[in-house]
Amino acid sequence: MEFFNWYIIWLMILFSLLSPSPSFMQASNGYDPLSLTNFLHDYANASLRNLHTGTLYNISLPANFSGMEASFVRILSAKFWSRGANFSSFYIPPKVIPMPSGRRLAIVFENLGNWSSLYYKVSNYTLVAPVVGFMAYDSPSGTVIGNQKLTFTADGDPITIRFPHIDAAQGENMTRKCVQFGDWGTFEITNMTSENECITRGIGHFSIVVASPPTPAPAPGKKKRNRKWFVVGIVFGLAFLGLVMIVTFKLLTRRKLKSMEKQSEKDVAFDTFWVGRSKMPSASMTRTQPYLEHEYVP
Ligand SMILES: *[C@@H]1O[C@H](CO)[C@@H](O)[C@H](O)[C@H]1NC(C)=O
Ligand SMILES: *[C@@H]1O[C@H](CO)[C@@H](O)[C@H](O)[C@H]1NC(C)=O
Ligand SMILES: *[C@@H]1O[C@H](CO)[C@@H](O)[C@H](O)[C@H]1NC(C)=O
Ligand SMILES: *[C@@H]1O[C@H](CO)[C@@H](O)[C@H](O)[C@H]1NC(C)=O
Ligand SMILES: *[C@@H]1O[C@H](CO)[C@@H](O)[C@H](O)[C@H]1NC(C)=O
Ligand SMILES: *[C@@H]1O[C@H](CO)[C@@H](O)[C@H](O)[C@H]1NC(C)=O
Ligand SMILES: *[C@@H]1O[C@H](CO)[C@@H](O)[C@H](O)[C@H]1NC(C)=O
Ligand SMILES: *[C@@H]1O[C@H](CO)[C@@H](O)[C@H](O)[C@H]1NC(C)=O
């Protein structure tokens, strides 16, 4: 029985090793853009005080984010609509409408610097500029930044993104393209509008990419599949081996029990009982039941 329990535990360990799919492992590498955005939101709210509207503030990030930059501005909605905003890497023209509307809005700008390719990946493309982004929130009086995320409706001129730094060496003669990242790892690739500019009509995260040099694609795919089948083979092999061992074990115990039974039939001529350390023969307790004569009523 104990053996059987161990076997079950073994199987569970093996299957838990096998089960996580590659996509799951990729998602849990610890660099989740959404949680970064939420972190910056909370950090801006916690670290900034006594703000002037219309002034851009650098957010000094914790040391373990070194290489990343973030800044914050709080703007009156009326001014935002009439004059637009020109901060960080973004030029937002007039007549962009934040939704839902309020008296003020707060914008958090990000530049992921050397962290860009950890948080954002574009299959078949290589990032050649840091990922920059901006998120807009409500800004109720009393707090620095609200919890309500805003969206922008730009019917007129689009928002312009100027990239502070483009890696010229990488993909030297290749066509650069703009990439806009959506939620859940989605992205959209468009043409650049000028030397180092992209345009957008909404909030989000942006970068520049070039097509990756074609990799010998089938080789890693095949290798991966082979390895997977190898693991599957090992697991089923072990499972089968375990089964065989269980059956053998059971057969052996049954045979042993039978021989023990036979042996005890031979050994125990008398019933025995123990007195201290010695085994004593004893007569059976049950004898022929005496019966009383007068009970017999003819
Ligand atoms: C904010 O940070 C950027 C980049 O580190 C720097 O160039 C700029 O001078 C800083 N601005 C202020 C007001 O500290
Ligand atoms: C930096 O440390 C904070 C906790 O102090 C943690 O929440 C955050 O995830 C860390 N950042 C990175 C990039 O590891
Ligand atoms: C980015 O660069 C800074 C130094 O500028 C370094 O401390 C940090 O570890 C780097 N981050 C990553 C993810 O490479
Ligand atoms: C926005 O500001 C940058 C400098 O920070 C300047 O070069 C650019 O001309 C400004 N754009 C507009 C449309 O005012
Ligand atoms: C990347 O390229 C490979 C082969 O060239 C193709 O099969 C795959 O669909 C591409 N992926 C995307 C997201 O375009
Ligand atoms: C911002 O911080 C204040 C206190 O520092 C807190 O009361 C408030 O709930 C925070 N707001 C958000 C949206 O996290
Ligand atoms: C890019 O093009 C130039 C000439 O247009 C050439 O000299 C150079 O070798 C090319 N670089 C690459 C990496 O192909
Ligand atoms: C993007 O640029 C290519 C040439 O560089 C052109 O053929 C294509 O039509 C452009 N796409 C759009 C949507 O403008």
Report yes or no on 42 lying in a domain: yes
Residue 92 DSSP symbol: E
The pLDDT of residue 25 is: 37
Query: By alpha-carbon position, which residue is closest to atom 3 of ligand 1?
Result: 58
What CA–CA distance (Å, rounded) separates 131 from 56?
A: 19
Residue 24 DSSP symbol: H
Report yes or no on 292 lying in a domain: no
Phi, psi of 71 (to 5 degrees): -145, 170
Query: In which band, very low, low, confident or very high, does the pLDDT at 34 lie, cut at 50, 70 and 90?
Result: very high
**Cβ(136)–Cβ(171) below 8 Å:** no
What CA–CA distance (Å, rounded) separates 21 from 231?
A: 13
Report yes or no on 105 lying in a domain: yes
Around ligand 3, the residues with Cβ closer than 6 Å are: 66-67, 114-115, 118
Report yes or no on 14 lying in a domain: yes
Token representation of residue 32: 């989740």
CA of 112 to the centre of ligand 8 (A): 28
Domain check: are 130 and 232 in the same one?
A: no
Dihedral sign from CA coordinates of 209, 215, 217, 222: negative
Report yes or no on 289 lying in a domain: no
What CA–CA distance (Å, rounded) separates 152 from 102?
A: 13
Q: Which position has the higher pLDDT, 18 or 5?
A: 5
CA of 123 to the centre of ligand 2 (A): 27
Degrees to nearest 5, angle at CA 287 with 284 and 289 = 155
Report yes or no on 154 lying in a domain: yes
CA of 212 to the centre of ligand 4 (A): 32
Dihedral sign from CA coordinates of 235, 236, 241, 245: positive
The pLDDT of residue 246 is: 79
Average the pLDDT over each of 129-143, 246-260, 279-293 and give the range with the smallest value. 279-293
Give the pLDDT confidence of 95-118 residue by residue, as tens digits: 999 999 899 999 999 999 999 999
Which bound ligand lies closest to the C-alpha atom of 84?
4
Q: Which atom of ligand 5 is nearest to the CA of 123?
A: 13
What CA–CA distance (Å, rounded) separates 56 from 41?
A: 15
- 10 has pLDDT over 70: no
Q: Which atom of ligand 8 is nearest to the CA of 175?
A: 5
Structurally, the chain folds into a number of domains equal to 2
What CA–CA distance (Å, rounded) separates 180 from 198?
A: 9
Report yes or no on 296 lying in a domain: no
**Ranges 57-66, 153-162, 171-180, most confident:** 57-66
Token representation of residue 83: 């004059």
Q: Which domain holds residue 45?
A: 31-211
Residue 214 DSSP symbol: P
CA of 86 to the centre of ligand 4 (A): 6
User: Which residue type sits at 105?
Assistant: L
Give the pLDDT confidence of 208-254 residue by residue, as tens digits: 999 988 766 555 555 556 667 767 777 777 877 878 787 777 888 88
Give the pLDDT confidence of 161-205 residue by residue, as tens digits: 999 888 887 877 889 999 999 878 889 999 999 888 999 999 999
Domain check: are 67 and 180 in the same one?
A: yes
Burial of 73 (0-12, 13-18, 19+ CB in 10 A): buried
Whole-angstrom CA distances from 138 to 44, 76, 229 are: 13, 11, 52
Q: Which position has the higher pLDDT, 259 or 144?
A: 144
Query: In which band, very low, low, confident or very high, does the pLDDT at 262 lie, cut at 50, 70 and 90?
Result: low
Mean pLDDT (the chain, rounded): 80
